Amino acid sequence: MPIKVLHIDSNHPILWEQLQEAGFENHADFTSTKEEIEAKIQDYQGIVIRSRFKIDKQFIDKAINLKFIARVGAGLESIDCDYALSKDIELIAAPEGNCNAVAEHTLGMILSLFNKLNLADSEIRSGQWNRESNRGYELDGKTVGIIGYGNMGKAFAKKLRGFEVEVLCYDIQDNVGDKNAKQVSLKELQEKTDVLSLHIPWTPETDKMVDTAFINAFKKPLWIINTSRGKNIVTADLVTAMQSGKVLGAGLDVLEYEKLSFETLFQDKDTPEAFQYLLDGRKVILTPHIAGWTFESHERLAQVIVDKIKAVCL
């Protein structure tokens, strides 16, 4: 009998095509609610997701024949991983599929902030020609601190090889440093860093990690770049640090206010004061969770997932 796979989010067509060629039976349902999917998930041995809804204990209990959950993306925070593993369900993700895209986006944010590219462009478009106020900084000679040295962090460090910078990394795993970054303690990283880049998952340990105490532990004023998960930073504390001059600028591809699906920005009727500061900020670059969202990574993510599904099932 063919392995039946339910796709609940759209992805690059090679994922569907190559699974079909390998003998899998594909089914798509991009519109049903979580409850409607739960009502039929017992018929499937595999499910392919992005981030439409949470795969929780209730869902897993309904998925009595599920052999794998494949998420076309880097993180697995939308899945109750411990419970899935207790049911012998294989968890598949593709952090290597979009790490180059994230690395390039991170570097682009830094260079845009340092050289005030977005600000200068908008001023010229409004008829202003301000040279002195748009004087920039050079990345050479700075120390870049990377927190989280997995696929994303390593890819970013590799991009920095063309610059005369010191690259430090901190990670909860031992011995992950390489020729592109020296692994150090968090204390040493906070003592030396000029530019901080976050490449960490969203976990109970990293939730709201970057708060006032964390920021104030840095010896020097710094720039902060976040292409990881929005809830790793307390936005109000970041804004306070920007107002005091402790944080010189921020590049945020992810926001504390995002919905779990990453598809929309959650906002109450009244925009939070901290978020309004970011919207108005002259030293802030905001992008809508697109660091890993390139045309190339779209295909690469799908290919990595196909290869891993076949490795698990065939």
The residues that are catalytic are: 229, 258, 289
**What is the DSSP track for 73-142?**
SS--TTB-HHHHHHTT-EEE--GGGSHHHHHHHHHHHHHHHHHTHHHHHHHHHTT---SGGG----STT-
Provide the sign of the torsion angle of the four alpha carbons 224, 230, 232, 238, taken in this order.
Answer: positive
User: Left, alpha or beta for 27 (phi > 0: left; psi -120 to 50: alpha)?
Assistant: beta
* Beta pairing partners, 169: 146, 183
Helix (H) or strand (E) holding 240: helix 235-244
Q: Are 165 and 144 in contact (CB under 8 A)?
A: yes
Instruction: Please name the residues in contact with 254: beta carbons below 8 A apart, sequence gap of 6 or more.
Output: 226, 227, 228, 229, 230, 289, 291
